[in-house]
């Protein structure tokens, strides 16, 4: 065994095999370039550029001044769980008991807990391809197996429920849905969601982009089945990424096991953030409406400019803040293309391969940036493509 730590046997197989989150690799490379004096247009990472609404910040300050800085109930403060319950009834007309809600430090710990509570080694979870980059790693880290179902650009990257049915077997424990979706920005229709909900395995529904829909309406899986886990949070809709506040809605029989996992690994979510979360749900709607209107303006600008540049976009995205654009006409290797764009055009974009083999040849753009910055990024791309610099990618 080598003492300098270079022997791979020193690191667990599970840690060695986890894949990188390439969007973060792009961001970190861009940040290195910025430290060297470069000016980068960031269209790679899905983080709101807005500041957290003032009423939410003021609620956090009050909580600090009132001494609400201690451990909370591991499930989360009851006031926040009641506010989440009221929110789901108000938005979707579904009744969720506060006792079915567990508040977490973002949706990532919630996801870790769901698969820890749901899966035995080798059991399967069906996911779409493309999918959010980290889904397979969460499943595999819990010793489960992701089973991928291809979804297609011409159909808005929606599941075909019959294709899900073909993949269900004796080891299938869950079906993962994400609507509005990262990376595609598209929604699963009500009819297809109903069909998916009829299958026997539990549904895991990532609803963190709910509220950010510009055409049509999003639906919660809880409108169609109780055999479901819902992941949601405050990061995207309320511009609270750094607050690390999310929640999990689960069937009642899972709450005590999930609570024990939370107690052992996380203790409780941030106390101050929880009190601020109540204000987000009850007082920040005007702020959300303003942010949403600006996102929609940016969405329209980005879609228009990408089409003008020759990117393929058969179905326009109507939710979240992403566009997954077909770049195969330019270069087939999305990883090389994205990093070449970063190097030569100084624009950060995420390669489609980060989101599964079904997104190879695509690039994901985020419009969580100002119209001015988006326009500048598109102009830099135009110059890059007109010079045909991508043809010299190495």
d(CA 149, CA 203): 15
How far apart (Å, rounded) are the C-alpha atoms in residues 26 and 391?
A: 20
Decide if pLDDT at 328 tops 70. Answer: yes
Tell whether 234 and 355 lie within a shared domain.
no
pLDDT in tens, 206-230: 999 999 999 999 999 999 999 999 9
No. of helices (H) and no. of strands (E), the chain: 13, 12
User: Quick one: pLDDT at residue 387?
Assistant: 83
pLDDT in tens, 16-69: 888 889 999 999 999 999 999 999 999 999 899 999 999 999 999 999 999 999
Do residues 47 and 59 both lie within one domain? no
Residues β-bridged to residue 183:
none
Q: Is residue 1 part of a domain?
A: no
- Kindly report, residue by residue over 273-282, the tens digit of the pLDDT: 999 999 999 9
Q: How far is CA 24 from CA 27, 129, 180, 334, in A?
A: 5, 20, 21, 15
Structure-block tokens of residue 312:
């393929």
Number of domains in the chain: 2
CATH of the domain at 310: 3.90.1150.10
- For residues 150 and 114, state if they share a domain: yes
Q: Are residues 266 and 355 in the same domain?
A: no
Quote the CA–CA distance of 10 and 365 in Å, as a whole number.
38
Write down the residue that tokens 């809600």 correspond to: 101
Say yes or no to pLDDT of 183 above 80: yes
Tell me the average pLDDT of the chain: 94
β partners of residue 236: none
Q: When comparing pLDDT for 380 and 11, which is higher? A: 380
Residue 161 within a domain: yes
* Residue 2 placed within a domain: no
Of 260, 284, 308, the residue at which a domain comes to its end is 284
Q: Does residue 45 form part of some domain?
A: yes
Residue 2 in this model has a pLDDT that exceeds 80: no
Query: Strand 145-150 relative to strand 347-348: parallel, antiparallel, unpaired?
Result: unpaired
* pLDDT, tens digit (0-9, with 9 covering 90-100), for 80-134: 999 999 999 999 999 999 999 999 999 999 999 999 999 999 999 999 999 999 9
Determine the pLDDT at residue 78: 98
Among 247, 266, 284, identify where a domain stops: 284
Q: What is the pLDDT of residue 1?
A: 42
How much is the pLDDT for 15? 86
User: Using one digit for the tens of pLDDT, what is the confidence trace for 142-177?
Assistant: 999 999 999 999 999 999 999 999 999 999 999 999
Look at phi and psi of residue 353 and say left if phi exceeds 0, alpha if psi is from -120 to 50, else beta: alpha
The alpha carbon dihedral of 76, 79, 81, 87 has a sign of: negative
207 with 296, same domain: the answer is no
Asked if the model's pLDDT at residue 5 lies above 60, the reply is no
Instruction: Please give the model's pTM, rounded to 2 decimal places.
Output: 0.92
Q: Same domain, yes or no, for 323 and 175?
A: no
CATH code at 119?
A: 3.40.640.10
Model pLDDT, residue 3: 39
Q: What is the mean pLDDT of residues 332-342?
A: 95
| Residue 358 and residue 232 share a domain | no
Could you say which of 284, 319, 345 is where a domain stops? 284
Domain with 348, as residue range(s), is: 8-51+287-392
Residue linked to tokens 């709101």: 48
pLDDT computed for residue 13 by the predictor: 85
Task: Give the pLDDT band (50/70/90) at residue 388.
Answer: low
Mean pLDDT for 192-217 is: 96
Q: How far is CA 104 from the centre of its chain?
A: 15
């Amino acid at each position: 065994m080598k003492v300098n730590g270079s022997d791979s046997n020193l690191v667990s197989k599970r840690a060695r095999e986890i894949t990188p989150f390439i969007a973060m690799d792009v961001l970190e490379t861009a940040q290195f370039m910025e430290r060297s004096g470069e000016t980068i247009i960031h269209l790679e990472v899905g983080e709101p550029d807005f500041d957290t609404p003032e009423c939410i910040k003021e609620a956090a300050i009050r909580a600090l001044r009132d001494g609400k800085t201690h451990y909370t109930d591991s499930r989360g403060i009851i006031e926040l769980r009641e506010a989440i319950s009221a929110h789901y009834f108000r938005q979707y007309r579904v009744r969720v008991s506060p006792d079915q809600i567990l508040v977490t430090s973002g949706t990532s710990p919630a996801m870790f807990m769901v698969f820890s509570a749901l899966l035995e080694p080798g059991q399967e979870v069906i996911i779409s391809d493309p999918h959010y980059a980290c889904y397979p790693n969460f499943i595999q880290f819990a010793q489960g197996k992701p089973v991928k179902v291809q979804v297609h650009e011409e159909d808005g990257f929606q599941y075909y429920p019959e294709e899900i049915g073909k993949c269900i077997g004796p080891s299938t424990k869950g079906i993962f849905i994400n609507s509005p979706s990262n990376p595609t920005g598209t929604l699963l229709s009500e009819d297809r969601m109903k069909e998916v909900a009829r299958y026997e395995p539990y549904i895991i529904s990532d609803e963190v982009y709910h509220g950010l829909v510009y055409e049509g309406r999003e639906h919660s899986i809880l409108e169609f089945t109780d055999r479901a886990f819902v992941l949601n949070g405050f990061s995207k809709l309320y511009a609270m990424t750094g607050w690390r506040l999310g929640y999990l809605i689960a069937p009642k029989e899972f709450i005590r096991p999930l609570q024990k996992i939370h107690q052992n690994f996380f203790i409780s979510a941030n106390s101050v953030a929880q009190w601020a979360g109540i204000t987000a749900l009850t007082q920040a709607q005007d702020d959300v409406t303003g942010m949403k209107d600006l996102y929609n303006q940016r969405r329209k600008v980005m879609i228009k400019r990408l089409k003008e540049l020759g990117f393929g976009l058969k179905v326009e995205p109507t939710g979240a803040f992403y566009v997954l654009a077909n770049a195969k006409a330019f270069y087939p290797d999305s990883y090389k293309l994205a990093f070449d764009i970063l190097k030569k055009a100084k624009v950060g974009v995420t390669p489609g391969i980060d989101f599964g083999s079904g997104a190879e040849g695509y690039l994901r753009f985020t419009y969580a940036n100002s119209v001015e910055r988006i326009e500048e990024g598109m102009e830099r791309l135009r110059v890059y493509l007109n010079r045909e610099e991508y043809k010299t990618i190495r």
